[in-house]
Structure 1
């Protein structure tokens, strides 16, 4: 038996495709065969499996479990829930050797995919390509595995609530928070969590619906926060929190309706953490604001700029023993008193905790941040064969620049006007650009520099590409 995956499905950070076109049950079975074989060859025996609320998820889960079992691996099925609940199932049980979540994350409703953990570490890049090679060669172990169904939701909620340990519930009794689950997989967990939190909590769209009837569940796109903003305004709430489709990315707004972007949330978390752990390394991706890196330094921490991509950030955290990291995309990773994976529900709890410990409202914390002018993430189509080559050309041209040039992930250039970034997406045929300044004139000059570099490589900032 061999299997060929559609060439677009095996990606850098995860496995993703369009149901009925590029991804189906046979692919899920082959992923189970390959992953199960690798777990068994590494001396493992049990894999936890969960899935999100998409219409196609139960079908993929059934086939995945069959594939894992056929390679001699036992499966612990934790059912429908957010991706971080599956990560929790893998991290909290010694006898579990790996985990797979079936999820389309923030993609359109007809997409689905897989996120994986292998013996406590992210499974990505070369690992994912290896599944393709094994499938093409039929390089799978044969065996018989068992299946157990385990309900871990309550245990997971208990663990989330530990994020408020040491805070007097009386201090939080007047708190008023809005939450938007976006009809994603975090809804039922959010209902149970909110019922146990001190204060007043208003919930939107907790009913799981894989068609996402109210708005698309990507909290980094401002228009998707409109319902939450209205709720916070009408009910005079302290702040609002939103989740993506599988509950691993957070979005937030303050009491005045201002968005708190991923790097701004990290400023709050860092300030809170650095009071008790001065000097630690805090990681953010290359798209993050200079204000964040400056703030970490001012608060006594060591800022580290790293590559975009949740798997890359998690790996770097382990390498440098960082207790906190985050991305512009809303992935936040806590490894101080948590497991180091991205969990938007836990990040919501930690936002409540940080404000309480810092003795300031979320609105005050947001209001104190420097007013930077920055572009949204600009994404434009570039042929797959050109995207990395173009970035290399830019690097060569800037080799002797008087500006500060950082090539951690693409090119990030810092000068008196601020900074600009140009990088190739690992998951799509697009280039990503971003710029930040403290004046409009400065921002215009930075954008002109981006356009100049693109022009020299025969490219231009074309029509915006979607995610």
Structure 2
């Protein structure tokens, strides 16, 4: 039996991702199914849930994936079109009542990437499947070290049970209070749209829904809520309707964006500060995890609230793993991935995060706009992303790290290089999903921010690089 070679660029740190028809093919999907199914069986499993997002290429990739899984002897439960968190939900014990327990799950999704991209996110035995696990899939495919069999296929509709679970975030809140809420929802024509329709139909209050029809061409705006221009429709709806706030979602519904009642963007670390204020009331002295791109004001706020702030690596898979290790009830990333193990399952779910934002503002007793007003003002860059050759990006960060240490500069090397100075802090890290380097900096003043970026540029120049044109997310 001959093996299968994946394009070297698609086996990423957290998932498998490429350009459909170029670096990612139907044959790749079949090989992913054969290889992942083999791992499931090697670990004693026999059943996997499969879902897919709204991209044009997703149905054909899902079909090939399922064929590969069943050819490995794994039974497949197809849950159909929906957000990634619904697939994660299907792979939890909470879904046992819907169908026989599954040991793993695969979601066909291009996440927030351009419309012609696609890929696969995986979960096994309740834990993220990433890093060396994904590398091992490549080895299994290359060696054709596949197990064989004839798995069965069944179908399950988990939407209603999933929505029930989302609404559970409002348990204990008076319905009369909920009747007064006014929320905007922008699905960006992504896979979360139908679930948002079902959720909003059951929620009390007033709900303004935008772009909930699934369309893989993304005709209204790209579904990446971390890019401010993509929030223009939501901001306009909030202001026009005098809404309390608005929430937006990426293509597969695992990343949240938000704007307050004044139309201001509430960034990921600011959202996490609000969630922390709510969660730490019930879970005092708990660990709250944020990624290395988060503001220093967030870590200070967590400590002020009586929590234990922990800075960790960027990426949904390492964050989820660190939560399990530390028992943290809450974690989040600047990218909008929010993770609740407090009364939830610990995976990143933007729809659940949206409902938790409603409940948090009610329990805290302060509007999202007032909470934003009370936050310290800092001057910060967005993520400054620029292309660097894939073979060079990690080496360049290591070279900067060694130079800083040689100069006796204090730093945090949890994920790349983060340096604190009298002006604030700056970060340099290599993306695990694209051929880019990422820079971020934050200060109390424009002048301080300029000095921080000058230092970054000097450090890059010393290793033969300079910040070029912005790369797309």
Q: TM-score range by the shorter chain?
A: over 0.9
- Between 379-388 and 324-333, report the one with greater CA deviation: 379-388
| CA root-mean-square deviation | 1.0
1:403: Cα distance to partner? Answer: 5.2
CA contact 1:403–1:415 (8 Å) conserved in 2: no
Q: 2:42 maps to what in 1?
A: 41
**1:85-127 C-alpha deviation (Å, 9 max, x unpaired):** 0000001345110000000111111111000001111001111
Q: 2:142 aligns with which of 136, 147, 172?
A: 136
**1:170-207 C-alpha deviation (Å, 9 max, x unpaired):** 11211100000000000000000001111100000000
Structure 1 Cα separation of the partners of residues 409 and 142 of structure 2: 48
Mapping of 1:280-299 within 5 angstroms? 280-299=286-305
1:377: Cα distance to partner? Answer: 0.5
CA contact 1:249–1:330 (8 Å) conserved in 2: yes
Mapping of 1:199-238 within 5 angstroms? 199-238=205-244
Specify the SS of the correspondent of 2:55: coil
Q: 1:308 maps to what in 2?
A: 314
Structure 2 Cα separation of the partners of residues 357 and 401 of structure 1: 48
Q: Which runs of 5+ in 1 are unaligned?
A: none
Structure 2 Cα separation of the partners of residues 255 and 402 of structure 1: 46
Q: 1:251 maps to what in 2?
A: 257
Structure 1 Cα separation of the partners of residues 325 and 168 of structure 2: 26
Q: 2:6 maps to what in 1?
A: 5
Q: 2:91 maps to what in 1?
A: 90
1:400: Cα distance to partner? Answer: 5.6
Q: Does 1:394 align with 2:395?
A: no
Structure 2 Cα separation of the partners of residues 22 and 176 of structure 1: 44
Matched positions, count: 467
- Between 425-434 and 225-234, report the one with greater CA deviation: 425-434
Q: 1:54 maps to what in 2?
A: 55
Q: 1:68 maps to what in 2?
A: 69
Q: Does 1:101 align with 2:102?
A: no
Q: Does 1:156 align with 2:162?
A: yes
**1:335-387 C-alpha deviation (Å, 9 max, x unpaired):** 01100000000000000000000000011111111111000110111222322
Structure 2 Cα separation of the partners of residues 401 and 293 of structure 1: 27
Mapping of 1:361-380 within 5 angstroms? 361-380=367-386
Structure 2 Cα separation of the partners of residues 304 and 212 of structure 1: 36
Specify the SS of the correspondent of 2:411: strand
Structure 2 Cα separation of the partners of residues 392 and 135 of structure 1: 31
Q: 1:6 to 1:386 in 2, by over 3 A?
A: closer
Q: 2:418 aligns with which of 406, 412, 421?
A: 412
Tell me the TM-score normalized by structure 1.
0.98
Q: Which runs of 5+ in 2 are unaligned?
A: none
Structure 1 Cα separation of the partners of residues 408 and 26 of structure 2: 54
**1:107-159 C-alpha deviation (Å, 9 max, x unpaired):** 11111100000111100111111111111111011111111100010000000
Structure 2 Cα separation of the partners of residues 171 and 300 of structure 1: 28
Q: Does 1:382 align with 2:383?
A: no
Q: 1:337 maps to what in 2?
A: 343
Q: 2:190 aligns with which of 178, 181, 184?
A: 184
Q: 2:268 maps to what in 1?
A: 262
Tell me the TM-score normalized by structure 2.
0.97
Q: 1:193 aligns with which of 199, 218, 234?
A: 199
Specify the SS of the correspondent of 1:9: coil
Q: 2:116 maps to what in 1?
A: 110
Structure 2 Cα separation of the partners of residues 385 and 62 of structure 1: 33
Q: 1:15 maps to what in 2?
A: 16
